[in-house]
Chains A and B, each alone.
Chain A
């Protein structure tokens, strides 16, 4: 019985932490962007504007929750829940603590890839069910970009899996005890980060919601809490990608003196900082260039990287 209780407590804690950090990121990102652009950012509500989140939630809660009469009702309502559900489910395999992840899944990496490929449905359903041209255009862009970059991401992850010899995230972290894989696999790390930016539809790859061309893209017709779900889903994706990158390339919670979870949080925060920094630095890419970059540069480089890694792994195991 106590085992069940323990599992439930850990589940609730993981979900609460994921949700809390995703929502806090809204404020963090706005403040950081402001700092990058020499402004103050939101600093009125509470100390340092920390309660901005509360104000935003009250605003979103009290807005009219509207389903357009021309929308396909069920998929329209289903779409925002899918993105949050896939995001939260993925956290089950992230090894935050020394004890490992919530579920010590043998195919943890594949589980993460499967859920991230399913999150595309949320965007496509939103775009199709909205029955609006801006939503549709946004969804077509988002789907094209996510399918393309998923490939590069999978290939970059595969080279880490080849090195560690396991799909289990806990074992991958354990294999980096002495040396994090970012040193051995710098190319894969870079590809993973770029693909992560594209998968979470963040600037400079935020064409699906390019406001000066297609209003707000796939969530144009959404309001109130349904819109908030898309918002939350995007920040959850950001937290998720940074945590997976930490586990795959930065050695997870490995580190001296501090407890595992603190090291994990520090490494995650560093990656999130880079993501926000990139957003403040780079302008939006043109869509054809985005696709060309994904297919003609990122995928071939990832394949080459995987080939070399595989050859080295085989040579090493044959040599000794």
Chain B
């Protein structure tokens, strides 16, 4: 399981980097989907199969598909790739790269200096997740549903306008 975790974490990191650096939107999106898959595998290896399945269904299977759906309508061609390349010249990467590597170093330091604990291999089933969501985290769930309702009403208003 540890091997699976580190392998999928590596894939997630590389795929996320490629998702940012690709100039063709379609390829960037495919790398992002790959990264989401890898993150789902990370969850699975940490003993959260329910979360892993939801990650694939919700993020890879629904949200990314909707973004792809919009991209289909945009008719992005070679001109847009050239424009994208023009938007991101070499020197534009410099400052973000420095900041990101500082963050990576800090995170590494924090992880390495923390007391080592044995990771518990216990797998958390769907029922346990459901019970936790509707007891301990009930307020969070309710707030999220209110937020979604706001989004729904907003979309309805915008759609019904004309």
A residues adjacent to B (C-beta < 8 A): 72, 74-75, 105-107, 110-111, 113-114, 117-118, 120-121, 124-125, 127-129, 136, 139-140, 143-144, 147, 150, 167
In the complex, chain A residues whose CB is within 8 Å of the CB of B57: 110, 113-114, 117
Give chain A residues whose Cβ lies under 8 Å from the Cβ of B66.
147
Residues of B within 8 A of A (CB): 24, 26-27, 30, 33, 49-50, 53-54, 56-57, 60-62, 65-66, 68-69, 71-73, 123, 125-126
Q: Which residues of B contact A143 (CB under 8 A)?
A: 65, 68-69, 72
Q: Which residues of B contact A127 (CB under 8 A)?
A: 72
C-alpha gap A147/B27 in the complex (Å):
21
Assess the B26–A128 pair: CB atoms within 8 A.
yes
* Partner of A107 from B49, B71, B73 at Cβ < 8 Å: B49
Closest residue to B77 on the A side, CB-wise? A131
Of the A-B pairs whose beta carbons lie under 8 Å apart in the complex, a sample of 17, sorted by A's number, is A75-B27, A105-B49, A107-B50, A113-B61, A117-B57, A117-B62, A121-B33, A121-B65, A121-B68, A124-B65, A125-B30, A127-B72, A128-B26, A136-B72, A143-B69, A147-B62, A147-B69
Q: How far is the CA of A113 from the CA of B53 in the complex (A)?
A: 9
Contacts of B68 in A (CB 8 A): 121, 124, 128, 143
B53/A120 in contact, CB under 8 A: no
A211 to B129, CA, bound (A): 47
Additional pairs, 13, CB under 8 Å, beyond known A120-B61, A128-B71: A74-B27, A107-B53, A111-B53, A113-B57, A114-B56, A114-B60, A117-B56, A117-B62, A121-B65, A125-B30, A139-B72, A140-B73, A143-B69
Question: Once the chains bind, are A106 and B65 in contact (CB under 8 Å)?
Answer: no
**Contacting residue for B126 out of A75, A106, A121, A129, CB 8 A:** A106
B24 nearest CB neighbor, chain A only: A72
Is the pair A118, B50 in contact by a Cβ cutoff of 8 Å? no
Residues of A within 8 A of B26 (CB): 72, 75, 128-129
Instruction: Flag if B60 contacts A118 (CB, 8 Å).
Output: yes
Known: A75-B30, A106-B49, A110-B54. A167 touches B126 (CB 8 A): yes
The residue from B60, B69, B123, B126 contacting A124, defined by CB atoms under 8 A apart:
B69
The 5 lowest CB-CB distance pairs between A and B, nearest first, are A117-B61, A110-B53, A114-B56, A114-B57, A107-B53
B131 to chain A, nearest CB (A): 13
A74 contact set on B, CB distance < 8 A: 27
Chain A's closest residue to B30 (CB) is: A75
Once bound together, how far apart are the Cα atoms of A124 and B67, in whole Å? 11
Q: Which residues of B contact A144 (CB under 8 A)?
A: 69
Q: List, in ascending order, chain B residues with CB within 8 A of A111's CB.
A: 53
Q: Are A140 and B125 in contact (CB under 8 A)?
A: no
